[in-house]
A and B are shown apart, each in its own frame.
Chain A
């Protein structure tokens, strides 16, 4: 389903020599499979996610989805979903409109999109907060709203950038289990980026570590 072929990316800090972030990165993720990406801060994990999402262009290599080269496809046409570390919920929209955002962008009429968002929020136990502003939610509630927003468009690929790093340990464990249940019930290819190896092992069927820009299999 998702395939990375020889992805390379360099980064040149201001007034310093270029640094290799990614080199010859190859990866295949099948539908319904979750792959965990490990690596310390600054190892290039988030950059790799951005390249998959289309937010950054690789210096070399190709990104394929269902056999099609999508390297030059803009992010809005990829049909992927990305969950950010701090959820990236839109502060000027309420929870319901945040969740409905992707559907409206797909051309669905707003009332229908809101109806579907309500249903999604109900599944996540978030219906009472539909009209709430996002900053009125707790960390866990924001997390659920962000996941609901990501899943409502039924993306082919779900990208998760340290989705629990902003939460405390107890909540992290509860939500992780909830996440896995919801994700495995879909047929998405999931790339889960984390620096926590225990978390990576609990969620990923396969795990990789980014070392000096190269993707090495861990299990």
Chain B
């Protein structure tokens, strides 16, 4: 009886903590935001509701947000699938490093990426200095930034999808007369399609609700609807209009997230045991394909980062002197303390959420909520719901944790799914009670997944920008907001300072990521397979 009670209610008790947190930090603020948008002017609700579509300026913002996201999807699809095919089918020295480097854009803070794009293609960028055209005030800056962040999302998903393609089915197709090209379209492509759809949903979602890149690279004409919401709230105090825009964004992103969840659920199937073996490239054309894939990856995913480091190095001692500035030291300290506090909270929440979601399946869907609702909407909602708390450290840290903890929860949930249940059964049979099973079996086996989730959570917190802009006090400036401040001031000194600080922020994010993630990499190479 006692065991049955525990089995039934323990997951719910465990779920209480993340549910309460989500309710206070996300659902209630978003609800408040909806109220602001839909019912702020009772007599005039309908016209306010339709205002974004009647105003040509706002209509363009909405349409452009969707357009740039769709265009990015198209580019990453066309470029990413061939790269993924090369990575999935060819074995070559350094392949594992290339796959690891594909994680880089997930770790690099948005503002750093934006700076990298500016260094390459901005009005004073290298391309202009070498006699090329400036991409300032064109949509291409933002599109390049989008591709930088999202190509890796698609390549990683497609590589994983291609690795699941059954070797025996491919062999059957070939023996039935299909050429390699036909076999790709008739066997590999259909197997790959759900993976692509899932990745494209994510790419669209990221681009549509992106803020940092659009704020820095979009300029006056090509900023997205998220930037517009920020401008309406922070600069024009048009809360009602911002609320309506937020409502439309929520509707759109909610629909996309639902599509993503639906596609993901279709992906949940047994992993193929008969994978296609990778082989070394044999012919000149195969070597050429490999070289081309690597060159494109370097150009699209590495070039902005290399450019920042090189450009920052050129600023000399005068540029690097910004590191001794008290503001900089404060910003580093703030970044570290806010991120560390948020990481502790995010780890606790993520672990508890994932464990509870093992038994209560719909909790898994809830973990995606912080991904669906953009940081700008969350921050705006918090601002409306807790006006007295907007400049308080606990709220800021909780907001950081909200954005970071899904990484932990997702990673731990995947680790739990991959854990063979009979290991836990074996421990029980050998006399371990549930707590001992968790402590001696589940937790050690989960550690690599936990570390991985924590690494992403930490990188997210270190590079956080949007929420800090809304909720922070001037003396709480972080590295991200300090970079933005320098970018907004005229003069080469400030530009150089932004560059150097971008380097520092990138190094900090990478260092934190590597410090947490590295032990799990080592354990995987030791034969650990449950991460």
Contact = CB atoms under 8 A, between A and B. Distances in A.
A88 B1 CA distance: 29
B420 interface: yes
Interface string B501-531: 0000000000000000000000000111110
A153 interface: yes
Contacts of B528: 91-92
A88 B432 contact: no
A171 interface: no
Interface stretch (B45-53, B289-297, B422-430): B422-430
Interface string A75-87: 1111111101010
Contact of A76 (B420, B431, B526): B431
A88 B426 contact: yes
B483 to A, nearest CB: 42
B259 to A, nearest CB: 22
A106 B436 CA distance: 11
B420 A88 contact: yes
A106 B431 CA distance: 6
A166 interface: no
Nearest to B440: A101
B255 to A, nearest CB: 26
Given A91-B530, A133-B527, A153-B431, A75 B425 contact: yes
A105 interface: yes
Interface in A84-129: 84, 86, 88, 90-92, 101-102, 105-106
Given A74-B3, A74-B433, A91 B529 contact: yes
Given A91-B529, A91-B530, A135-B527, A76 B432 contact: yes
Interface in A165-193: none
B444 interface: yes
Contacts of B427: 90, 101, 105
A205 interface: no
A106 B432 CA distance: 8
Contact of B428 (A55, A86, A135, A153): A55
A82 B422 CA distance: 10
A16 to B, nearest CB: 18
A45 interface: no
Interface string B397-430: 0000000000000000000000010110111111
A215 interface: no
A133 B1 CA distance: 39
A218 interface: no
Given A84-B422, A133-B527, A105 B431 contact: yes
Given A84-B422, A86-B422, A91 B429 contact: no
A92 B423 CA distance: 11
B429 A75 contact: yes
Given A84-B422, A90-B423, A74 B429 contact: no
B430 A105 contact: yes
Contacts, number: 73
A156 interface: no
B422 A53 contact: no
B231 to A, nearest CB: 49
A19 to B, nearest CB: 21
Contacts of A75: 425, 428-429
Given A135-B527, A153-B430, A82 B3 contact: no
Most buried by A among B3, B431, B433, B526: B431
B429 A53 contact: yes
A126 B441 CA distance: 23
A62 interface: no
Contact of B425 (A53, A72, A105, A135): A53
B423 A76 contact: no
A91 B428 contact: no
B445 interface: yes
B428 A76 contact: yes
A149 B3 CA distance: 27
Contacts of A106: 431
Nearest to A134: B527
Contacts of B433: 74, 76
Most buried by B among A78, A101, A106: A101
A88 B420 CA distance: 8
A149 B429 CA distance: 11
Nearest to A133: B527
B422 A91 contact: no
A65 to B, nearest CB: 14
Contact of B445 (A72, A77, A91, A135): A91
Contacts of B422: 84, 86, 88
Contact of A92 (B420, B431, B445): B445
Nearest to B523: A92
Contact of A55 (B425, B432, B440): B425
B529 A88 contact: no
B444 A84 contact: no
A55 B3 CA distance: 12
A105 B423 contact: no
Contact of A105 (B1, B432, B444): B432
Nearest to A74: B3
B432 A82 contact: no
A76 B530 CA distance: 24
Contacts of A84: 422, 425-426
B514 to A, nearest CB: 22
A87 to B, nearest CB: 9
B425 A91 contact: no
B426 A82 contact: yes
Contacts of A92: 444-445, 528
Contacts of B529: 91
A84 B433 CA distance: 19
B441 A90 contact: yes
B430 A102 contact: yes
B430 A81 contact: yes
Contacts of B445: 90-92
Most buried by B among A82, A91, A102: A91
Contacts of A77: 431
Nearest to B428: A75
Contact of A101 (B1, B430, B444, B526): B430
A120 to B, nearest CB: 13
Nearest to B433: A76
Interface of B: 1, 3, 420, 422-423, 425-433, 436, 440-441, 444-445, 526-530
12 contacts: A50-B425, A53-B429, A76-B433, A76-B436, A81-B429, A84-B422, A88-B426, A90-B423, A101-B440, A105-B436, A106-B431, A153-B430
